[in-house]
Structure 1
Amino acid sequence: MTESDLGAEALALDKQVFHSWSAQAHLNPIAIARGLGSRLWDHAGREYLDFSSQMVNVNIGHSHPKVVAAIAEQAAELATIAPPTANLVRGRAVAEILRHAPEGFTKVFLTNGGADAVENAIRMARLHTGRDKVLSTYRSYHGNTGAAVVATGDWRRIPNEYARGHVHFFGPFPYRSEFWSDSPEQETERALHHLERVILSEGPDSIAAILLETVPGTAGVLVPPPGYLSGVRELATRHGIMLILDEVMAGFGRTGHWLALDGVDGGTVVPDLVTFAKGVNSGYVPVGGVMISEPITKTFDDTVFPGGLTYSGHPLAAASILAALQAMESEGIVVNANRIGTDVLGPGLRALAAKHPIIGEVRGMGVFWALDLVTDPQARTPVPAATVGAIKAACADRGLLVFAAENRIHVVPPCIVTDDEVAQALAIYDEVFGEVGAG
């Protein structure tokens, strides 16, 4: 069969696939055949620069040879084994994860993905505290399983509200403040006051955990203003509440740090639990997990933890984690993400915003950025969905794959992205914003 035939077959067979978050009759996917680094190719050989990192997870880039080889070698040696066994590659992967964990973290529970990780972190917090309620923000996404989707704040929660004990509050967002703030410092002060009032109104002794994305991703790459996470930590400690930081999207290089918490408030905030997935192995094999601080692990020394997964600590996933994290360190990939954000991508996006009034705000760090698109820079009126759709399509026509959410374009290339690739993407954005923004 020719490549054209293979592409046609892929699209024909895809009609039998039930796609997530989609109206099934209105899909128009690209059939991707292969990838390498920051680039993808369809079956016709057309090249795309991937500035979406797919689901903001391919941090190490596509088809990294060391990770691919590690998976293949492990598959040949031992493709799967049950969680109760000890397994060398699993142990090495956990040890590598703990090297990057905050101080005082001693164990890792491995899951099949980020939503599983959030589910089990909530379970641990509830069992450890003997409390029930979980507080999370309206601008958040934590996964598509029972408690995780109800902890989520965006529209996806509403048709799925079957889990108990969830309370939402507003986190800080200076550009679109809920608190009428006129500075980041005031936003922090008022957001913390709001959270404290919610805690007191709900009853501190009923609250098991505060669950926050360290840097909310799908909600808009909302880097917390200075002092906010530290203030949340203080409130949680004062009331005996566990602080869960969700690093599923923000972790392992995405912000230019090993964990996003390392780059916020001077890296001084130590949570009680950290959830992760995505970047830990760039999604090569489905995996996630919970980093657990020692006080919580001790709760389960003599008490059974009532949770488990058939594929927890799967050898292929473990091998991919170990190879990915070792490659990221030896090749300076996290350092590259930090440099790109500080020296190349951040300045380039701010230059675009100065040129194109459609870009109301640029925010982010590392290779984790969002462009907040507006029809009126003064009123900050969000552009309609049709405008974002037109921008996404125009970029794809020019060979650039972007991540779009609500009125935003998220600029989230792999951590290995080069200066030249950033320049190529910026040139496409410039052309598209000039075309769509002028219309």
Structure 2
Amino acid sequence: MPVPTDPAARRTYELDRAHVFHSWSAQAALDPLVITRAEGCYVWDGHGRRLLDLSSQLVNTNIGHQHPKVVAAIKAQADVLCTVAPQHANDQRGEAARLIAERTPGELDRIFFTNGGAEAVEYAVRMARLHTGRYKVLSQYRSYHGGTSTAINLTGDPRRWPNDYGSAGTVHFFGPFLYRTAFHASTEEEERDRALEHLEQLIAFEGPGTIAAIVLETIPGTAGIMVPPPGYLAGVREICDRHGIVLVADETMAGFGRTGRWFAVEHEGVVPDLLTFAKGVTSGYVPLGGVAISPHVAATFAERPFPGGLTYSGHPLACATAVATITAMAEEGIVENAARVGEDVLGPGLRALAERHPVIGEVRGRGVFWALELVTDRATKEPLAPYGGTSPAMKELTAALLDAGVLSFSNFHRLHVVPPCTISPAEVEEGLAALDEALSIADKHTTAA
């Protein structure tokens, strides 16, 4: 990609390459896109191009970019109280906790605030271990839970490999994923039952009395947006209850409207013991995450001090952003819009693309949370890029989308279609047209070409 010609954008690019150390990247190979401004479902790059943001950045700008009510709330809070230590009560932290507790399922009414999703997972695991007196934690192979020490060991995808020393007490298992079934299943029901049986066997061999928690992305995000078959989450809940294991629902990516509900667990009517959140709670405008805690886990620390904390826990600027974000989502029907757009426009549109493009092996998702499984051969399901890597075909596809005016989100052999929850039907159609054009290029890498 050429260096921006605009002097300010070029200066931004040069400073980045001279001084910024990027995450998850070989530094010398980077050629970052300069983003100069954003509004609604669009961003503008250093070349002056307007791009439809089908990535929601890192699947977090749920209310879109620069929502005026949230921007105003951040400015207003900065005039009153920019920061305060977490041992002091502040009005925005209390109100944010109330609004979140109102929307979490069951009685998850106590909120511990963190700076993001990885910390939320770290603290949820710490709570579970102290609550149960056990150490092991189970999680799925196809998962991502964050980049900090415990969270990266819980992660199943290849980002764990260079960080995993096998000493974090984490054990991985296969979750349900019918398209690439590990259980030789042919139906969703078989996949569910066999995945639950596999989990039962793993627990038996690891020792039920050694397991503190099972941590699940309710709908795995970066790992592929695999919606679990009906009854799977309820089955995991029953297994946890039977063995005294804490169920932690990681809703960092799937929460706050992304699937057309406030939280993805609502689709299955399941109440976890702990629920972690981040990203959409502030639409990413100011970093914030947290853990919603059930009464029986919270009671463990009624008289016993909880050994953990953060300088910025419940930061007033972040909490004011959460209050404004949740309020705007409720007043403007943003969660309902995500459900409606997904059901009526985005889901049907993506399935129509699959009928035209042999490179699409499967379409799956809910709300504004979708993935296209891209393959070179539909019969063999050979992926368009290797697990843990990329390919020339995927690079061509993402470049074609950029040329078509779309900022995309890809991971390995998948294209994730994850726009803001505020996206309109007309904007969805714009994105589908760009996808249609770009996927024609990817089709050339299939056996059908």
Q: TM-score range by the shorter chain?
A: over 0.9
Q: Secondary structure at the match of 2:22?
A: coil
The answer on 1:323 being equivalent to 2:324 is yes
Counterpart residue number, 2:365: 364
Alpha-carbon distance between aligned partners in 1 of 2:46 and 2:321, rounded to the nearest angstrom: 26
1:391 to 388, 397, 400: 397
What is the Cα deviation at residue 156 of structure 1?
A: 1.1
What is the Cα deviation at residue 435 of structure 1?
A: 2.2
Alpha-carbon distance between aligned partners in 2 of 1:68 and 1:106, rounded to the nearest angstrom: 27
The answer on 1:410 being equivalent to 2:412 is no
Counterpart residue number, 2:187: 183
- Cα deviation 1:179-237 (Å, max 9, x = unaligned): 00000000000000000000000000000000000000001001000110000000000
Alpha-carbon distance between aligned partners in 2 of 1:237 and 1:388, rounded to the nearest angstrom: 43
1:83 to 83, 86, 101: 86
Q: Could you tell me which amino acid in structure 1 is paired with residue 382 of structure 2?
A: T
The two structures, once aligned, show a CA RMSD in angstroms of: 1.0
Counterpart residue number, 1:151: 154
What is the Cα deviation at residue 159 of structure 1?
A: 1.1
Q: Which runs of 5+ in 2 are unaligned?
A: none
TM-score by length of 1: 0.98
The answer on 1:336 being equivalent to 2:337 is yes
Q: Could you tell me which amino acid in structure 1 is paired with residue 328 of structure 2?
A: A
Instruction: Check the 8 A contact 2:397/2:441 in 1, yes or no.
Output: no
Alpha-carbon distance between aligned partners in 2 of 1:330 and 1:226, rounded to the nearest angstrom: 31
Alpha-carbon distance between aligned partners in 2 of 1:376 and 1:203, rounded to the nearest angstrom: 41
Alpha-carbon distance between aligned partners in 2 of 1:393 and 1:280, rounded to the nearest angstrom: 31
Q: Could you tell me which amino acid in structure 2 is paired with residue 122 of structure 1?
A: V
The answer on 1:174 being equivalent to 2:178 is yes
Q: Secondary structure at the match of 1:110?
A: strand
Counterpart residue number, 1:56: 59
Task: Count matched residues.
Answer: 435
Alpha-carbon distance between aligned partners in 2 of 1:416 and 1:104, rounded to the nearest angstrom: 29
Q: Secondary structure at the match of 2:126?
A: helix
Alpha-carbon distance between aligned partners in 2 of 1:377 and 1:177, rounded to the nearest angstrom: 15
The answer on 1:116 being equivalent to 2:108 is no
2:98 to 86, 95, 98: 95
Alpha-carbon distance between aligned partners in 1 of 2:395 and 2:117, rounded to the nearest angstrom: 27
Q: Could you tell me which amino acid in structure 1 is paired with residue 67 of structure 2?
A: H
Q: Secondary structure at the match of 2:183?
A: coil
- Cα deviation 1:326-349 (Å, max 9, x = unaligned): 000100000000001000000000
- Cα deviation 1:391-410 (Å, max 9, x = unaligned): 11110111101100010000
Alpha-carbon distance between aligned partners in 1 of 2:169 and 2:372, rounded to the nearest angstrom: 34
What is the Cα deviation at residue 94 of structure 1?
A: 0.5
Counterpart residue number, 2:138: 135
What is the Cα deviation at residue 105 of structure 1?
A: 1.5
What is the Cα deviation at residue 300 of structure 1?
A: 0.3
What is the identity percentage for the equivalent residue pairs of Structure 1 and Structure 2? 58
What is the Cα deviation at residue 157 of structure 1?
A: 1.0
Counterpart residue number, 1:350: 351
The answer on 1:7 being equivalent to 2:4 is no
Q: Could you tell me which amino acid in structure 2 is paired with residue 218 of structure 1?
A: T
Superposed structure 1 runs of 4+ greater than 4 Å apart = none
Alpha-carbon distance between aligned partners in 1 of 2:411 and 2:83, rounded to the nearest angstrom: 37
| Within-5 A mapping of 1:15-30 | 15=17, 16-30=19-33
Alpha-carbon distance between aligned partners in 1 of 2:92 and 2:146, rounded to the nearest angstrom: 27
Alpha-carbon distance between aligned partners in 1 of 2:438 and 2:48, rounded to the nearest angstrom: 23
- Cα deviation 1:148-203 (Å, max 9, x = unaligned): 00000111111112452110000000000000000000000000000000000000
Instruction: Check the 8 A contact 2:175/2:195 in 1, yes or no.
Output: yes
1:67 to 65, 70, 73: 70
What is the Cα deviation at residue 43 of structure 1?
A: 3.7
The answer on 1:376 being equivalent to 2:380 is no
The answer on 1:256 being equivalent to 2:260 is yes
Q: Could you tell me which amino acid in structure 1 is paired with residue 102 of structure 2?
A: R
Alpha-carbon distance between aligned partners in 2 of 1:200 and 1:121, rounded to the nearest angstrom: 23
Q: Secondary structure at the match of 1:105?
A: coil
What is the Cα deviation at residue 30 of structure 1?
A: 1.2
What is the Cα deviation at residue 262 of structure 1?
A: 0.9
Of 353-362 and 152-161, the range deviating more from structure 2: 152-161
Counterpart residue number, 2:288: 287
What is the Cα deviation at residue 42 of structure 1?
A: 2.0
Counterpart residue number, 2:425: 419
